[in-house]
Amino acid sequence: MPQTVLVVEDEPHIVDSLSFLMKKAGFDVFIARDGDAALRMVESRPPDLILLDIMLPRRDGFEVLKYVRANDAWKEMRVILLTAKGRDVDRLKGMELGADDFVTKPFSTKDVVRLVKQHLGVEEKLA
Amino acid sequence: MLVDWIIILSSIGYLLVLFAIAYFADKRAERGAGITSHPYIYALSLGVYCTSWTFYGSVGRAASSGLDFLPIYLGPTLVFVLWWLVVKKIIRITKAHRITSIADFISSRYGKSTPLSALVTVIAVVGIVPYISLQLKAVATSFNVLKQYPEVIAPLNSPPIATVADTAFWVALVLAIFAILFGTRHIDNSEHHDGVVVAIAFESVVKLLAFLAVGIFVTFGLYDGFGDLFQQASRVPELVQLMTFEKEGAYTTWVTLTTLSMVAAVCLPRQFQVIAVENVNEPELRKGVWLFPLYLLAINIFVLPIALGGMLQFPRGDVNADTFILTLPMAHEQEMLALLVFLGGLSAATSMVIVATIALSTMVCNDLVMPVLLRWNWLGLREKSDFTGVLLFVRRSSIILILLFGYAYFRFLGESDALVTIGLISFAAVFQFAPAMIGGMFWKGGNRKGALVGLSLGFVVWAYTLLLPAFAKSGLLPITFIAAGPLGVELLRPYELFGLQGLDHLTHALFWTTVFNAGAYVFVSLYTRHSAIERVQGALFVDVYRYADQGARSQIWQGSASVEDLFNLLVRFLGRARADRAFSGYFRDRGLERRRVITADADLVHVTERLLSGAIGAASARVMISSVVKGEVVRLEEVMTILDETSQVIEYSQSLEQKSKELESTTAQLRAANERLQELDRLKDEFLSTVSHELRTPLTSIRSFSEILSDHPDLEEEEKSRFLEIIVKESVRLTRLINQVLDLAKIEAGQMEWILEDLDIPQVVENSMDTMSAILSEKEIALDVDFASDLPVIRGDRDRLMQVFVNLLSNAIKFCDESRGWVKVSVFLQGEEVAITVADNGRGVPWQAREHIFEKFHQSREGLADKPHGTGLGLSISRQIVEHFGGRLELVQTGSRGSVFGVFLPLQAKQIVAKAGE
Give tens-digit pLDDT for B5-46. 777 888 888 888 888 888 888 777 777 666 666 778 888 888
DSSP 8-state secondary structure symbol assigned to residue B95:
H
Alpha carbon distance A104, A94 (integer Å): 12
Q: Does B701 touch chain A (CB under 8 A)?
A: yes
B701–A14 C-beta distance less than 8 A: yes
8 Å CB contact between B835 and B903:
yes
Alpha carbon distance A4, B489 (integer Å): 139
A20–B703 C-beta distance less than 8 A: no
Q: Tell me, what's the pLDDT at A48?
A: 92
Residue B802 predicted with pLDDT over 60: yes
Of the residues B577, B612, B634, which one is the last residue of a structural domain?
A: B634
Nearest Cα of chain A lies from the Cα of B904 at a distance, in angstroms, of: 33
Residues in A closer than 8 angstroms to B730, CB to CB, are 13
In terms of Cα–Cα distance, which of B451, B456, B453 is closest to B439? B451
Nearest Cα of chain A lies from the Cα of B707 at a distance, in angstroms, of: 7
CATH code where residue B172 lies:
1.20.1730.10
Residues in B closer than 8 angstroms to A20, CB to CB, are 708
Tell me which residue in B689, B696, B726 faces A13 most closely, judged by beta carbons.
B726
B861–A10 C-beta distance less than 8 A: yes
Q: To 10 degrees, the CA torsion angle through B552, B558, B564, B569?
A: -70
Residue B196 predicted with pLDDT over 90: no
Q: Count of CB atoms within 10 A of residue B914's CB?
A: 11
| B526-548: average pLDDT | 72
pLDDT, chain B, mean: 77
Alpha carbon distance B194, B759 (integer Å): 95
Residues in A closer than 8 angstroms to B715, CB to CB, are none
Q: Does B236 touch chain A (CB under 8 A)?
A: no
Residue B558 predicted with pLDDT over 70: no
Buried b (16+ CB within 10 A) or exposed e, B355-383: bbbbbbbbbbbbbbbbbebbeeeeeeeee
Residues in A closer than 8 angstroms to B861, CB to CB, are 10, 34, 57
CA distances from B440 to A11, B524, B538, B826 (A): 92, 14, 7, 86
Confirm whether B520 is domain-assigned.
no
Alpha carbon distance B605, B607 (integer Å): 6
The pLDDT-based confidence of B246 (bands split at 50, 70, 90) is low
Closest-approach residue (CA) in chain B for A15: B701
Alpha carbon distance B490, B299 (integer Å): 43
How confident is the model over B539-552, as pLDDT tens digits?
Answer: 777 777 766 544 34
Confirm whether B508 is domain-assigned.
no
Neighbouring residues of B725: CB distance < 8 A, sequence distance ≥ 6: none
Closest-approach residue (CA) in chain B for A108: B704
CATH code where residue B685 lies:
1.10.287.130
Confirm whether B604 is domain-assigned.
yes
Q: Kind and range of the H or E element at B449?
A: helix B448-462
Same domain, B829 and B896: yes
| The pairing of beta strand B898-906 with beta strand A4-8 | unpaired
Same domain, B600 and B666: no
Confirm whether B17 is domain-assigned.
yes
| B562-569: average pLDDT | 76
Same domain, B403 and B366: yes
Same domain, B731 and B765: no
In terms of Cα–Cα distance, which of B521, B433, B446, B566 is closest to B106? B433
Nearest Cα of chain A lies from the Cα of B692 at a distance, in angstroms, of: 6
Same domain, B577 and B711: no
* CA–CA–CA angle B171, B176, B181 (5° rounding): 130
Tell me which residue in B700, B708, B862 faces A106 most closely, judged by beta carbons.
B700
A109–B696 C-beta distance less than 8 A: no
Whether residue A106 is preceded by a cis peptide bond, meaning omega within 30 degrees of 0, is: yes
Q: What are phi and psi of A30, to 5 degrees?
A: -120, 155
Residues in B closer than 8 angstroms to A11, CB to CB, are 697, 700-701, 869
Residue B660 predicted with pLDDT over 60: yes
Alpha carbon distance B468, B471 (integer Å): 5
B712–A107 C-beta distance less than 8 A: no
A105–B689 C-beta distance less than 8 A: no
**Start-to-end CA span in chain A (Å):** 24
Residues in A closer than 8 angstroms to B862, CB to CB, are 57
Same domain, B703 and B787: no
CB burial of residue B411 (10 Å; 0-12, 13-18, 19+): middle
DSSP 8-state secondary structure symbol assigned to residue B50:
S
Q: Tell me, what's the pLDDT at B911?
A: 44
Residues in A closer than 8 angstroms to B692, CB to CB, are 84-86
Same domain, B664 and B589: no
Alpha carbon distance B254, B70 (integer Å): 8
Q: Tell me, what's the pLDDT at B870?
A: 62
Closest-approach residue (CA) in chain B for A32: B865
Nearest Cα of chain A lies from the Cα of B865 at a distance, in angstroms, of: 7
Nearest Cα of chain A lies from the Cα of B749 at a distance, in angstroms, of: 24
Same domain, B291 and B412: yes
CA distances from B202 to B16, B29, B177, B199 (A): 13, 17, 19, 5
Where are any strands of DSSP class E within B365-431?
none
The pLDDT-based confidence of B581 (bands split at 50, 70, 90) is confident
The amino acid at B189: N
Same domain, B173 and B124: yes
A14–B704 C-beta distance less than 8 A: yes
Residues in B closer than 8 angstroms to A12, CB to CB, are 865-868
Alpha carbon distance B581, B373 (integer Å): 27
Integer Rg of chain B from CA = 48
Where are any strands of DSSP class E within chain A?
4-8, 28-32, 49-53, 78-83, 101-104
How confident is the model over B340-368, as pLDDT tens digits?
Answer: 888 888 888 888 888 888 888 888 888 88
B290 half-sphere exposure, CB direction, 13 A CA radius? 2
Mutate to test the interface with A, among B684, B685, B696 (most CBs of A within 10 A): B696
Closest-approach residue (CA) in chain B for A107: B700
Q: Tell me, what's the pLDDT at A4?
A: 92
B21 half-sphere exposure, CB direction, 13 A CA radius? 17
Q: Does B700 touch chain A (CB under 8 A)?
A: yes
Q: Count of CB atoms within 10 A of residue B5's CB?
A: 8
Tell me which residue in B689, B701, B711 faces A13 most closely, judged by beta carbons.
B701
Of the residues B688, B711, B744, which one is the last residue of a structural domain?
A: B744
The pLDDT-based confidence of B301 (bands split at 50, 70, 90) is confident
Confirm whether B62 is domain-assigned.
yes
Q: How many domains does chain B have?
A: 4
Residue B290 predicted with pLDDT over 90: no
Q: What are phi and psi of B102, to 5 degrees?
A: -70, -30
Confirm whether B697 is domain-assigned.
yes
Of the residues B393, B409, B431, which one is the last residue of a structural domain?
A: B431
Nearest Cα of chain B lies from the Cα of A16 at a distance, in angstroms, of: 9
Q: Tell me, what's the pLDDT at A124?
A: 56
Residues in A closer than 8 angstroms to B693, CB to CB, are 55, 84-85
Same domain, B401 and B356: yes
Confirm whether B464 is domain-assigned.
no
In terms of Cα–Cα distance, which of A94, A98, A78 is closest to A86? A94
CATH code where residue B904 lies:
3.30.565.10
Q: What is the mean pLDDT of each run of 10 residues along chain A (127 residues)?
A: 89 90 91 90 91 85 90 88 77 86 88 90 61
Neighbouring residues of B617: CB distance < 8 A, sequence distance ≥ 6: B100, B101, B103, B104, B107, B117, B362, B366, B367, B370, B371
| B401-428: average pLDDT | 74
Which domains, from first to last, does chain A contain? 4-119 (3.40.50.2300)
Q: Which residue has the higher pLDDT, A110 or B861?
A: A110
Q: What are phi and psi of B600, to 5 degrees?
A: -80, 145
A84–B692 C-beta distance less than 8 A: yes
Buried b (16+ CB within 10 A) or exposed e, B390-410: bbbebbbebbbbbbebbbebb
Alpha carbon distance B788, B561 (integer Å): 106
A106–B692 C-beta distance less than 8 A: no
Q: Count of CB atoms within 10 A of residue B253's CB?
A: 18
DSSP 8-state secondary structure symbol assigned to residue B891:
E
Same domain, B299 and B369: yes
Mutate to test the interface with A, among B707, B714, B848 (most CBs of A within 10 A): B707
Q: Tell me, what's the pLDDT at B415?
A: 61
| Domain boundaries, position B588 | 555-634
Query: pTM for the full model?
Result: 0.56
| B260-289: average pLDDT | 77
Same domain, B731 and B760: no
8 Å CB contact between B845 and B891:
yes
A84–B700 C-beta distance less than 8 A: yes
Confirm whether B396 is domain-assigned.
yes
